[in-house]
Amino acid sequence: MLRTKFLPVAIAAGVAIAACSSGESALESGVDDPVETTASTDPASGDTDPDGDDSDDGDAAVDTTAQPTTTVAPLAELPACPTDALDDADGPVDIVFWHSMSNELEPPLIELTEQYNASQDRVRVELQNQTGNDSTIDRYIAVGSDSRPALVQLPEFVLRSFSDSGTTVPAAACIESSGYDTSAFVPRTLTAYQYEGIQRGMPFNVSNPVLFFNRRIFEAAGLDPADPPVSLEELRTAAEAIVSTGAAPVGLVLDSGPDSGGGWFLEQWFARAGEPFADNGNGRLGPATEVFFDNELGVELTTFLQDMIDDGLAITIGDNAGGQDAFFKLADANERGSMTVSTSAALGSVLGALDAGLGGDLTRDDIGVGPMPGPGDVPQVQVGGASLWIVADKSDEEVAASWDYITYLLSAESQARWAASTGYVPVRTDAVDLEPLASTYADDPRFEVAFTQLMTGADDDTANAPVLGPQREVRVETSRAMAAIFGGADPQTALTEAAEASNALIASYNQRN
């Protein structure tokens, strides 16, 4: 019997990531020497480590409830952001922006950029699509500083590695230089991209996991589509009703992808349960040294999912490498799935594909969206998606131009258009009252689910994603464990092996950084 506090959660879809297993910093190869910083001490934290390295000098317990302010890097030692440099520029400043928006998500970004370019004569932005997060990161690592863009879009799992690299201008420097007002931002979208007390990137395409389900199947099974499952108990009950009534042969579609059911969602489940995924405040109070996903909660979560499969209530579609396999299963006429969990950013693309007739007899009206089911009755999620990072070693004018473009993309008006077109969550609360987002939320509440659940839940260390140097590689380790568990392996054994491999990756990274 599972503990009430730690009822596990459903998983599925998303976009898989590839990663090396060396444990090296994501920017260790072919990257300029990182800027050295000396961590200062927050007196309120009680940290009296005299050498300022935030190392663990013993076996003292870590306070996992403290706010992530223990480790603070001096902003003055990091690359500057002269936002007034545009005033002295001779003619328009050209900048290149590497982004990862593809398929239906790219046109809204192109439109926003064209509107920005037309709205002023000081900056011209050239978009260069890198097709995905992995290709963006790998190309950034491979090329020298002269070949890098002025601005790059990066996912949440590289927060520490890119912060450590010294190749980017911290957004905090731009905020300070320009006096930029962040008071309207959803707080969690900002703290998600803070490291060592400094705003590193600015949130842009924010997403989180949500439940996608077939409304027609729910009705056929006697379930209320307006009241989808929120707790894990409710999730299993819904799956049982679907399968037992013959409404569909599959209740829940699972996957083991690193950036979805095998990695990202595992971090989300721990946050939902209020437990840290790693020590030192999820790596935000100081460098993380070990992961906790092989503890009692991790075993309960994975055992629950394994039981769902063994009991004929769920199936796994593997690593979901294309990012669409779970949704195809919802449209499978022979073995149709009823529910899956995926990123909220997929909503616009899914509805567009159904409008184009790619779902067989499945239509846009059949798709329901609810909070991601998980431990407890209150939805809570960590910020996913990606943020905007200004690249260092560019001219002052390029840095200033990049910041000017960022402020346009993050304006309430731009965020209202962006969220309404894509399914991403607006990073600002004042965007939800503007058109076209206000009408979108009113006419189609499915788009508002991700925003609502981002605004709920506890506000502690677990509210933000773990910050691990080799986080991409750690997700690969957990995805291997999840795949093995879905295939019948002992959950404790698989998680312990993955945790040992992850801790070795973290130790290797920390030793070099």
One domain for residues 391 and 315 = no
pLDDT tens readout for residues 78-88:
999 999 999 98
One domain for residues 358 and 249 = yes
Q: What is the dihedral of CA 283, 287, 292, 293, to 10 degrees?
A: 60
One domain for residues 359 and 488 = yes
One domain for residues 370 and 415 = no
In a domain, 368, yes or no: yes
Tokens of 137: 């990161």
In a domain, 21, yes or no: no
Q: What is the mean pLDDT of residues 312-328?
A: 91
Q: Alpha helices, DSSP H only, in 423-490?
A: 437-443, 449-454, 471-486
One domain for residues 377 and 389 = no
Contacts of 80 (CB under 8 A, 6+ apart): 169, 173, 177
* Contact status, residue 315 vs residue 309, Cβ threshold 8 Å: yes
Asked if pLDDT for residue 124 goes beyond 90, the answer is: yes
In a domain, 7, yes or no: no
One domain for residues 213 and 201 = no
Mean pLDDT score across all residues of the chain: 87
In a domain, 459, yes or no: no
Q: What is the mean pLDDT of residues 492-497?
A: 98
Number of domains composing the chain: 2
In a domain, 142, yes or no: yes
* Contact status, residue 147 vs residue 130, Cβ threshold 8 Å: no
One domain for residues 477 and 409 = no
One domain for residues 110 and 252 = no
Q: What is the mean pLDDT of residues 458-463?
A: 81
pLDDT of residue 324: 86
One domain for residues 368 and 492 = yes
Whole-angstrom Cα Rg for the chain: 22
pLDDT tens readout for residues 371-381:
999 998 889 89
pLDDT tens readout for residues 237-262:
999 999 999 999 999 999 999 999 99
In angstroms, the CA 305 to CA 232 distance is 10
pLDDT tens readout for residues 402-439:
999 999 999 999 999 999 999 899 999 999 999 999 99
In a domain, 338, yes or no: yes
One domain for residues 88 and 125 = yes
pLDDT of residue 71: 57
In a domain, 414, yes or no: yes
One domain for residues 362 and 502 = yes
In angstroms, the CA 430 to CA 411 distance is 9
Nearest Cα neighbor of 190 from 198, 206, 202, 178 is 202
Tokens of 181: 């007002």
pLDDT tens readout for residues 279-298:
999 999 899 999 999 999 99
Model confidence, pTM: 0.85
In a domain, 434, yes or no: yes
One domain for residues 395 and 344 = no
pLDDT tens readout for residues 147-197:
999 999 999 999 999 999 999 999 999 999 999 999 999 999 999 999 999
CATH number for 145: 3.40.190.10
In angstroms, the CA 486 to CA 480 distance is 10
Asked if pLDDT for residue 64 goes beyond 70, the answer is: no
In the sheet that holds 337-343, the strands lie side by side as 314-316, 250-254, 337-343, 209-214, 367-371
pLDDT of residue 74: 84
Which domain range does residue 323 map to?
A: 209-381+467-512
